[in-house]
Amino acid sequence: MGPREGEVRIPSGCAISAIMDKSGKRMSGSDILSSIELMHDRSNGLGGGFAAYGIYPEYADLYAFHIFYEDREARTETEEFLRNYFDTEVAERMPTTKVASIDHEPNIWRYFMSPYIGKLRDSRLSEDQFTMNAVFHINSRINGAFVASSGKNMGAFKGVGYPEDIGRFYRIEDYNAWLWTAHGRFPTNTPGWWGGAHPFTLLDWSIVHNGEISSYDTNRRYVEQYGYECTLQTDTEVITYLFDFLVRQQGMSQKMAAKILAAPEWDQIDHMDPKDREFWTNIRACYSRALVNGPFSIILGSSRGLLALNDRLKLRSLVVGDKDDKVYLASEESAIRLVCPDIEHVRQLGGGEPFVAELYPEVLAQMESKKNIYTRPVSMATAGDFE
């Protein structure tokens, strides 16, 4: 007879970690690698990954696509599609290093691109929407091709393996970023495969998640109404799309979007003052299908900074601390103290209360001022819906 309940240690599944410098100063991937490696026992080798912001300053105005290919045919079809809709400045194989524990890795390429001006104009879409549609076309309609990340001046590095091995495989210590997030995966209901590893990304959004989304089917049907396609075989994917819809398309702040995902319980709303009660009653009614249920802690990365959120009952731990310009987050305090022994203001995040850390306003303004408007050759072909 096997072990009984209570006789086996079952960790709280998955590990997440983040390090951000609010001054925009970039740092190598060595600290985030050490932080996530300390939480090795929270993973089972079926997924690990990192998101990094500020790593491609020389191509800051171009979309950086990291793409997995399972075979030569997938790459041929994808690159033909990209040639029709994007001006590609660089196409190259992703630099990697052989790691003994990682095998059956896909062929990984990266591309720095911008939409053709003519196709973008004819589509009557924003640049981001045009690019999002291209991502979904590749992921859902080209067999054996998966876009790991598609933002500007950022990238996701993920795969099947323990996170420390994935980090060494991608040589993340060679990259410098002002924001790093990391994930060690312990999948319970979904398969461990390269496209299903965290972070999940869309444009410059990235999500690392510890927990389980019991409202996934409701959330998935909700975002699919607005053109999002959940094809990566895991519940976490939908969180990324919810933030993109609420913030980029609905114009909400990240904090407001987070409050919708973890909205107050009805009994809490009943005890609010009349003005707040009316507000939250309307929010719950309008965005009921964006409410995320289940135990979770998440870290959202973007070009502005990071946002962290626990479920309303705080069923997954998430610790935050800071030191000077840096902010640290992790599933365990030890993973922070390892890389910053003199960390200050250490605390647990409250249930359903978003924590936001953004670049300093002057840094954000400086980054915006450096963005150039690229002029590309006008394509004579007719814009389509990528069919």
Q: Give the active site residues.
A: 14
> Is the peptide bond prior to 11 cis by the omega test (within 30 degrees of 0)?
no
Q: How far apart are CA 155 and CA 303, in angstroms?
A: 11
Q: How far apart are CA 48 and CA 183, in angstroms?
A: 5
Are the C-beta atoms of residues 25 and 198 closer than 8 Å to each other? no
Q: How far apart are CA 48 and CA 165, in angstroms?
A: 8
Cβ neighbour number for residue 323 with a 10 Å cutoff = 14
Tokens of 133: 């549609």
CA-derived radius of gyration, the chain: 21
User: Residue written as tokens 């049907």?
Assistant: 221
Are the C-beta atoms of residues 71 and 106 closer than 8 Å to each other? no
Q: How far apart are CA 314 and CA 312, in angstroms?
A: 6
Residue 305: left if φ>0, alpha if ψ -120 to 50, beta else—which one?
left
Residue type, 343: I
Tokens of 254: 């990240």
Cβ neighbour number for residue 40 with a 10 Å cutoff = 15
Pairing of strands 326-330, 15-21: antiparallel
